[in-house]
Amino acid sequence: MSESYLPIFILFFVTLGIGGAMLGLAYVLGPRKPSAIKEMPFEFGSPNIGTARERFSVKYYVTAILFLVFDIESVFIYPWAVLFRELGWFGFVEMLVFVAFILVGLVYVLRKGALEWE
């Protein structure tokens, strides 16, 4: 069984090699004439003010947390989706109740305006 994963490992190292080779080749072939201005982060030509290690909008964090909730939900749905014929209507209602609980959360979050990006 585990040997059926071997090709994936081979492919993994092949792709890693391709990526590394492409970067390495460009590194070798390309000219390099560094200057202070070239090494500055490009922010539309104006002198940089501070670094990019800034705080950013809390909305991205809310999105990430929502993603976690629904990703876990989908992880629970996968095994049910494979077995739902055997579980029958009982399993279906159980899954509906589970999804409904999380959907209530989503509706709450949306009503609170957590995903208003205007």
71: Cα within 13 Å, side-chain hemisphere: 6
Could you say whether residue 38 binds another protein (CB under 8 A)?
Answer: yes
- As measured in angstroms, the least distance from the Cβ of 100 to another protein is 10
Q: Does 97 bind another protein (CB under 8 A)?
A: no
Pick from 39, 58, 97, 111: which binds another protein (CB under 8 A)?
39
Give the nearest distance from C-beta 9 to another protein in angstroms. 9
How far is Cα 27 from Cα 64, in angstroms, rounded to an integer?
A: 36
Q: Are 81 and 92 in contact (CB under 8 A)?
A: no
